[in-house]
Amino acid sequence: MYLFFHYYVLFTLIHVLLFSPSSLSLPPPSATTSLLQFLHSLPKQSQNQLPWNHSISSSPCQWPGVSCHNISNNTSFQVIKALNLSGYGLTGVLNNSISYICQNTHLSFLDLSGNNFTGNVPKQLGNCGQLSTVYLSNNGFQGQIPPELFKSKWLSNLDLGFNSLSGYVPPEVSLCHNLEYLGLYNNHLSGEVPSEIFIYQS
C-alpha cells in the first residue's frame, strides 16, 4: 500500500510539473535574454524608463508592453508576438539594438513611436521576425528610407511619420505586396512616390 501511494504521489507531481499552465506558458529563456540585451543596449536613462523586471528567471510575458500568444492551438507554449514601447521617451540609435528584438522570430507587431530615437531607420527591420506592423512615428530618425524595409513578405503597416527623413521613397516599395498602409507624413522627403505603389497585387 505504501509503495502504491509513493508512485501515485510521484506520478501526480510529474503531471503537475509537465502540464501545469505555469510550466507550459513560459517563453524560451532566449526570449527573455534578447529583451534584456535590447534594454541594456540603450542609454542608462532609457533603461530606467522601462519598468521591466531585470531577472532572467522572470517571464517577459508579464512585462509592460510585451504580449505573448500560444505558438499553436495544440499547446500552451508561448512566444512573444507584440512589443509596444510607445511613449516611454527612449533614446539612442537603434541600428545595433534592434538585432536583439529581431531574435524573437514570431514577433509580428512593433511599436516604438513617441520616443526620441535618432540615427537611421534600421534596415534590419526588413528581415525581422514576422513583422507585419511597424510604428516608428514621432521620433528623430534621419537619413533616407532604407529600401531593405520593403523586402519583407510580412509587412502590411509601416508608419514613419513625424521624423526627419530625407531623400526619396525607394522604388523597392513596390516589392512589398502585402503593404496596406504607409505613413510618410511630416518628413523632408522629395521626389515622386513610385507609381508602382498604387498597383494592387492580386
What tens digit of pLDDT does each residue of 162-187 get?
Answer: 999 999 999 999 889 899 999 999 99
Fold of the domain built from segment(s) 28-198 = 3.80.10
Q: Is 150 a residue whose pLDDT tops 90?
A: yes
Residues 6+ apart with CB under 8 A from 13: none
Cell (9 digits) for 75: 499547446
pLDDT tier at 72 (50, 70, 90 boundaries)?
low
Cell (9 digits) for 5: 501511494
- Residue whose C-alpha cell reads 512615428 in the numeric block: 137
Residues 6+ apart with CB under 8 A from 93: 117, 118, 119
pLDDT tier at 139 (50, 70, 90 boundaries)?
very high
Q: Which residue has the higher pLDDT, 73 or 43?
A: 43
60 DSSP 8-state letter: G
Boundaries of every domain in the chain:
28-198
* pLDDT tens per residue across span 35-66: 999 999 999 999 999 888 777 677 899 899 99
Give me the mean pLDDT over the 2-24 stretch. Answer: 40
Residues 6+ apart with CB under 8 A from 8: none
Q: How many Å apart are CA 180 and CA 76, to the nearest integer?
A: 31
pTM given for the model? 0.83
